Amino acid sequence: MKRGNAAALLPIGVFLILYLGLGILFEYVLKIPMGFYSIPIVVVFLAALLVACLQNGKLSFDEKLSLMGKGIGDKNIVTMILIFMEAGIFVGVVGRSSAESVAYFMLSIIPTRYAAAVLFVVSCFVSTAMGTSVGTITLITPIAVAVAAASGFSMPLCIGAVMGGAMFGDNLSFISDTTIAACNGQGCPMKDKFRENFAIALPAALLTLVLILVLSFRSGVEQMAAQPYQLLQILPYLLVLAGGIVGINVFVVLLVGIVSGAIIMLATGAIPATALLSSMGSGAAGMFETTMVAILVSAICALIRENGGCDALLYGIRRIFKGKKGGQLGMGLLVGAMDIATANNTVAIVMANPIAAEMAESYGVTPRKTASLLDTFSCVFQGIIPYGAQMLVAISAASELGYEVSAFEILPNLHYPLLLLLSSLVFIFLIPERGKRA
C-alpha cells in the first residue's frame, strides 16, 4: 500500500478553508442571509485548481493541462454533464404548477388529521419525481406553513416532514444531481444504485411516517379548505419515475418527460407557447454551476491523483478503518465531512468520487454499493446541517408568509435523515452485501 504524498491534498484543504471560512464569516459574523450561498463556489474551486497547478515542479504546465483534459474528458464526466443539462430542461418545462398539482391532489384525498404525514409522503413523491430537494422544499414549504396555520399542527413538525421527504427523493431520484454524480462517478447503472438505496431508505421512510403519525395524533387539528389542481399535469412526473424504475435509458426517460411535459403544459394553458423555449433555456442554465463544479473538480482530482494525494488519503483511511465494513463506513464519513465543509451534497459527492472509487477497489466493495453509500451519507449530513440550502430555504419560505421559525426548532423534527443514518449503519454492519462486483 503506497504512502502517497499528503501535500498533494493541499488544493482540497484550500477549497475547504476558503469556502467554509468565508461561509462562517458571511453567515454568522456579518449576518448575511444565506451567507454560505453568497460565495461563488466556482471561483473558490478555481483558486483550488491554481494551487494544484502550482504543485509538482517535475511536470510542465502543458503536461498538467493534458492530465486535466483527460480527467474532464472521462466518459462518466461527459455523461454526467449531458444528463445535468437534460434534467434542467425537464424541470424548466414542467415548472412549479405541475408539482403543485401533485401536492394538492394528494392532500385532497386524505383527512386533515393525517396532513403532516401526507406532507412527508407528498414531499417524497415530488422530490423523487423532480430530483431536487431544494426545489421540493421551495414548493411544498408554503403548503406546509398553510397546513400548520389552518390545522393547528406544529409548524416545525410540518416543515421537518417536508425536509425529510425532500431528502428521500434527493437520495433516490433518477434525475437527482446526487444520483447522477454518484452513479456516473462509480460507473454504476442507476437502476442498480436505486435498488441498493431503496432497501436502505424504505425502512427509514416507513419509521419516519409512523413517528409523524404518532406525533400527529397528539395534536388537535381542524378541517382545511381544498385547493385547485390540474390532474393531467402529474403525468410527466409519473412517466419519468416509472421509466427510471424499469431501467429505461435515462436520456430517453428525460426526453419523454420533456416532450410529454411540453405538450401537457401547452394544452392546459399553464405556459404560453412563446415562453416554452425560454423555460427550457432557464432550466438548462440553472445547471451551469453544477456543471462547472463537475468540470473543475475533475481537473483538480486528476492532478491530485497524479501527485499522489489519493494514495495518501487511502493509506490514512486504511490505517483507521479496517476490513470491508470499516471501509464502507470510511467512505460514508469521507463524503459526510466534505458535505459539512461545502454545504452541498452534489459537490461533496463529486469531490469524493475518485477517492471512493479507489477505496472500493481496495476494500472489494461493488460500484452500486459505493454509489449508494456516497449518495446516502451525503443526504444524511445535508439534511441536518443548519446552514444547508434546504434548511435556509425552508426558513426563508416560512418567513415570507409571516411565520418565524428557527433552524434549532426544526432540527428535532428532522426524523428522516437520522433514521436514514441508522438504517445505513444497520446495512453496513449487520446485513451482507448482495450480488457480485459489477
Distance, in Å, from the CA atom of 204 to the CA atom of 336, rounded to the nearest integer, reads: 18
Picking from 175, 165, 164, 166, the residue whose alpha carbon sits closest to that of residue 237 is 175
Residue 85, domain member (yes or no): yes
Whether 120 contacts 209, CB under 8 Å? yes
Whether 120 contacts 136, CB under 8 Å? no
The pLDDT > 90 percentage for the chain reads 17
Q: Give the domain range for residue 266.
A: 6-429
Residue 391, domain member (yes or no): yes
Helices and strands (H, E) in the chain, number of each type: 20, 0
Residue 39, domain member (yes or no): yes
- 72 CB-contact burial (10 Å; exposed 0-12 / middle 13-18 / buried 19+): middle
Rounded alpha-carbon distances, angstroms, from residue 263 to 76, 85, 269, 317: 31, 20, 10, 51
336-358 pLDDT, tens digit per residue, is 887 876 667 887 888 788 888 88
- 265 CB-contact burial (10 Å; exposed 0-12 / middle 13-18 / buried 19+): buried
pLDDT at 123 over 90: no
Question: What angle, rounded to 10 degrees, do the helices at 155-172 and 389-400 form?
Answer: 140
Distance, in Å, from the CA atom of 204 to the CA atom of 199, rounded to the nearest integer, reads: 9
What's the number of domains the chain is made of?
1
Count of CA atoms in the C-beta half-sphere (13 A) of 201? 25
Residue 162: pLDDT band (50, 70, 90) is very high
Q: Which amino acid is at 276?
A: L
Dihedral sign of CA atoms 410, 414, 417, 421 in order: positive
Residue 399: CB partners within 8 Å, gap ≥ 6? Answer: 405
- 142 CB-contact burial (10 Å; exposed 0-12 / middle 13-18 / buried 19+): middle
Whether 404 contacts 155, CB under 8 Å? no
Residue 358, domain member (yes or no): yes
Residue 164, domain member (yes or no): yes
Question: What angle, rounded to 10 degrees, do the helices at 323-342 and 345-363 form?
Answer: 160
Distance, in Å, from the CA atom of 84 to the CA atom of 220, rounded to the nearest integer, reads: 44
Residue 28 three-state SS = helix
Residue 37: pLDDT band (50, 70, 90) is low
Question: What pLDDT is stored for residue 202 in this prediction?
Answer: 93
Residue 97, domain member (yes or no): yes
Residue 438, domain member (yes or no): no
Count of CA atoms in the C-beta half-sphere (13 A) of 239? 18
Residue 158, domain member (yes or no): yes
What are the percentages of helix, strand and coil residues in the chain, rounded to 5?
80, 0, 20
Whether 121 contacts 209, CB under 8 Å? yes
Quote the DSSP letter at residue 269: T
Whether 164 contacts 126, CB under 8 Å? no
One-character DSSP codes across 141-178: HHHHHHHHHHH---HHHHHHHHHHHHHHHHHH-TT-HH
- Cell reading at 267: 394544452
Residue 438: pLDDT band (50, 70, 90) is very low
262-304 pLDDT, tens digit per residue, is 998 888 887 888 888 888 888 888 778 778 887 888 888 889 8
Distance, in Å, from the CA atom of 39 to the CA atom of 22, rounded to the nearest integer, reads: 7
pTM recorded for the entire structure = 0.70
- Cell reading at 9: 491534498
Rounded alpha-carbon distances, angstroms, from residue 2 to 8, 55, 63, 364: 14, 20, 23, 17
186-243 pLDDT, tens digit per residue, is 888 888 888 888 999 999 999 999 999 988 887 666 555 566 777 787 788 778 767 7
Distance, in Å, from the CA atom of 299 to the CA atom of 288, rounded to the nearest integer, reads: 17
Quote the DSSP letter at residue 434: P
Whether 189 contacts 183, CB under 8 Å? yes
Q: Which of 150-159, 275-284, 393-402 has the lowest mean pLDDT?
A: 393-402
Average pLDDT over the chain, rounded to an integer: 82
Whether 416 contacts 164, CB under 8 Å? yes
Q: Which of 151-165, 299-313, 361-375 has the lowest mean pLDDT?
A: 299-313
Whether 383 contacts 160, CB under 8 Å? no
